[in-house]
Amino acid sequence: MIKTIIISEDQLHIGAKALSEGKLVVFPTETVYGLGADALNPHSIHQIFVAKGRPSDNPLIVHISDMDQLDRLVREVTDTSKKLMEAFWPGPLTMVMKKSAIIPEIITAGLDTVAIRMPSHKLARDLIRLSGVPVAAPSANLSGSPSPTSERHVIDDLNGRVDVIIRGGDTQVGLESTVLDVTCDPPKILRPGQITYEDIEAVIGEVDYDQHLIDHKEIPRSPGMKYTHYSPKAQVIIINGNKSVEKMKAMKQEFEQMSKSVGIMVSHEYFDQFEGIKCNLGRDNSMIANRLFACLRELDTYDVDIILTHSVKKEKLGVAIMNRLEKAAGHYIIDTEEESK
Ligand code: TXA
Ligand code: MG
């Protein structure tokens, strides 16, 4: 067990020094908390995999604070990438690019590409700048559990497993960054996020989704996407279609008759229609994105057997929400329209 120091924003220099010494430092970003280490130090990177219990074939994102850090990390920066950086950096867009020789293999899981992101969160960028190193950082959760969006989540998962945790309140976006492969033409979205297909299309004209995002049985190009990520302990069931709330009520009753405990996760408009253990996802997609992981974790604290929830429209940010939700549910989805046919 490591003795974890928990520090606040005004003690950033402690976190920066720890990073430069090869230690593990958890820090907030605008998306979710990250578990950082010096990206050029293979020993430190190995410790990230140990702390998270992360499979070694899942590559990490390298975070930078300023553009002048980029050139030594990648072999080329295409015109398309430049346009995207101008439009979306700093911010929640990760770009998969051809890696340079200084990137350790352990970061990329042997791939010839490296994922790079410049976060917009001021504390995150100040930390990276002060540390003087590029910072590799996966989400700061134990492998397999939902990404952490609050200090509490980080402490629950990683206290005693990392050297430093920097407090930063609740994260703003709540879902991890959009991952875009810019080594192919047109670029491919490997993981949907707050920066949407439409946002990217508006800047570069043409973009694709990785086939895995259209048919989840296809093998994903992003190794991390194949794992049942984001899963709480309970079985999540998504109820689709315009009769979903009625169906949720009926299923809740059925499960309870079988002595199963049920947690309900619904958007604000349906919240008052349910009794018992429940979590309010909020009024619109940006709130739902922001609260999804926190709700999954909260319902788990009640030790429920089942979590019932409904879908949102798969458009714009809804694509990313449904991507995470379907993974949390292990693709256990019930379609009320199909049932009534
Ligand atoms: O918002 C975020 O991206 C957060 C914060 C901390 O920045 N980080 C994060 O990292 O979500 P992680 O490790 O949980 O997810 C990284 C994703 C994985 O799905 C991984 O497989 C993919 O990016 N990835 C990393 N390098 C890749 C590469 N070279 N090619 C394809 N996919 C890659
Ligand atoms: Mg993750």
Q: What is the pLDDT of residues 164-193, one digit of tens each?
A: 999 999 999 999 999 999 999 999 999 999
C-alpha distances (whole Å) from 297 to each of 136, 300, 328 are 25, 5, 11
Q: For residues 149 and 154, what is the distance between their CA atoms, to the nearest angstrom?
A: 8
Q: Please tell me the predicted confidence (pLDDT) of residue 230.
A: 66
Q: For residues 205 and 317, what is the distance between their CA atoms, to the nearest angstrom?
A: 19
Lowest mean pLDDT among 254-258, 277-281, 328-332: 328-332
Q: Are strands 113-117 and 61-63 parallel, antiparallel or unpaired?
A: parallel
Average confidence (pLDDT) over 258-280: 97
Residue nearest atom 15 of ligand 1, based on CA coordinates = 138
Ligand nearest to C-alpha 33: 1
146 in contact with ligand 1, CB cutoff 6 A:
no
Q: For residues 157 and 52, what is the distance between their CA atoms, to the nearest angstrom?
A: 9
CA-closest candidate to residue 234, choices 148, 329, 146: 329
Ligand nearest to C-alpha 34: 1
139 in contact with ligand 1, CB cutoff 6 A:
yes
Report the residue among 27, 98, 139, 230 best suited for mutation to probe ligand 1: largest number of ligand atoms under 8 A from its CB: 139
Q: Please tell me the predicted confidence (pLDDT) of residue 1.
A: 86
Q: For residues 301 and 304, what is the distance between their CA atoms, to the nearest angstrom?
A: 8
Contact at 8 Å (CB) between 293 and 230? yes
Q: For residues 310 and 46, what is the distance between their CA atoms, to the nearest angstrom?
A: 39
CA of 139 to the centre of ligand 2 (A): 4
> In which band, very low, low, confident or very high, does the pLDDT at 341 lie, cut at 50, 70 and 90?
very low
Q: For residues 268 and 26, what is the distance between their CA atoms, to the nearest angstrom?
A: 32
179 in contact with ligand 1, CB cutoff 6 A:
yes
Report the residue among 64, 179, 212 best suited for mutation to probe ligand 1: largest number of ligand atoms under 8 A from its CB: 179
Q: For residues 281 and 269, what is the distance between their CA atoms, to the nearest angstrom?
A: 10
Which residue blocks in the chain are alpha helix, DSSP H?
A: 12-20, 42-52, 79-88, 105-108, 122-131, 151-158, 197-204, 211-214, 244-257, 268-271, 285-301, 317-328, 336-340
pLDDT > 90 fraction of the chain, expressed in percent and rounded:
89
CA of 110 to the centre of ligand 1 (A): 15
Count of Cβ atoms closer than 10 Å to residue 194 Cβ: 25
Give just the sign of the alpha carbon dihedral 116, 118, 121, 127: positive
Q: For the chain, report the end-to-end CA distance as a whole number of angstroms.
A: 56
188 in contact with ligand 1, CB cutoff 6 A:
no
Taking the complete model, does pTM exceed 0.75, yes or no? yes
Write the pLDDT tens digit of every residue in 290-334: 999 999 999 999 999 999 999 999 999 999 999 999 999 998 999
